[in-house]
Amino acid sequence: MKNYKSFVPTILLLLCFLAPANGIDMDPLIMNIRILGLEEAGPPMVMGTKLIFTYKNENKDAYWVKMVGARFEHEDYRILHTYYRNEQNIFILPYPLPDNLVKLKYRIVVDGLWMSDPFNPEQEKDLLGTVFSVVNIDPSIPTTFKNPRINPDGSVTLMYRSLSATRVTLTGEFNNWDPFSHNLTQEKPGLFRITLRLLPGPHYYLFVVDGNKTLDTFNLDSAIDYEDYRVSTFTLK
């Protein structure tokens, strides 16, 4: 990958990732997700101080889904949080990570029909057999940090947080975009880390999470190549 053009983070990006969880309007985050071009639904993922829930109607012959929402146990299922739909027809809900909560239990509502989240494999049943989706939250894992971290010895540390990932690797121009050579170590469930030595200058990279390439959501700087493919970037002095 080459021929990079600099990408200057917008005010919306800064609002999305730097503002406190309880004081940020969700609309800028939705705009940012659109910019990132989310094209597939998957398990809940952490992005800054938010949990990102996604939904996609995978039955092409089915009716057009009009509304998707989520209700949470810690709110007594009273509040319906409505998903937004991006330009790729992916429904997205950014939800603030709750304080002092280690397990988030919820159900989604698709055009009035209650169900468990089909994109979240973590589930529980109650005594009546009703299936609930679950997100386990480790309060000891930091919800905010900034990549990269330059260590006193000149090495570079990158971290990745995921509640569902089983393997995370690092691919970039420094390893010829090999998606297998640099494995992140899982320090504890949900937190992955890698430390490496790089030459001074600009570097471009992506995380590979269970086989899927993704931007570093804890690094606001990115660049795009001649194919308009966005990658994360930083400069080592």
pLDDT band with cut points at 50, 70 and 90 for residue 226? low
| pLDDT tens per residue, range 30-58 | 446 544 667 788 888 877 677 889 999 87
| pLDDT tens per residue, range 67-76 | 999 999 999 9
Token pair, residue 193, equals 């880390």
pTM of the full predicted structure? 0.57
How far apart CA 33 and CA 52 sit, in angstroms, is: 10
Token pair, residue 25, equals 């309007």
| pLDDT tens per residue, range 97-136 | 876 677 899 999 999 999 999 999 999 999 999 999 999 8
User: Residue with structure tokens 């209700």?
Assistant: 71
Torsions phi, psi of 194, nearest 5? -145, 140
Q: Which domains does the chain have, with CATH numbers?
A: 37-136 (2.60.40.10), 149-236 (2.60.40.10)
